[in-house]
Amino acid sequence: MFGIVAGLIGVFYTKIFHFTRGIFARIKISRLYIPVLSALCAGLTGLISPKNAKGIPLIFGAGYTTITNILENDVT
C-alpha cells in the first residue's frame, strides 16, 4: 500500500514541477527576477502554513520535529 501511495505522490510531484516550470517559461521577465519570485512564493507559503508553538511556520524546518511527532503518534 505504501508503494502505491509513494508512486502517486511521485507522479503528482512531477506534474506540479512541470506545471510550475511551464508557468515560469511563459512569464516575460528577466531571468534574474525568477529567484526573487520563487522566494516570494516560498514566503507566502510560510505565511499561510501552520505554525509551531514559537510561531515559526512548520514548512521552514528540517522536519525533525514533525517526524518525531508522527513516530510518537502525537499528530495534531
E strand or H helix that includes residue 67: helix 64-71
Dihedral through CA 21, CA 27, CA 31, CA 32, nearest 10? -110
Q: Which residue has the higher pLDDT, 17 or 75?
A: 17
For 57, residues 6+ apart whose C-beta sits below 8 A from its C-beta are 46, 47, 49, 50, 51
- What is the C-alpha R_g of the chain? 16
In a domain, 76, yes or no: no
pLDDT tens digits, 7-55: 999 999 999 999 988 988 888 888 888 889 889 988 888 888 877 777 7
Please state the domain count of the chain.
Answer: 1
The pTM (predicted TM-score) of the whole model is 0.50
Assign 76 a pLDDT band (cuts: 50, 70, 90): low
In a domain, 38, yes or no: yes
In a domain, 56, yes or no: yes
The domain of 39 spans 2-71
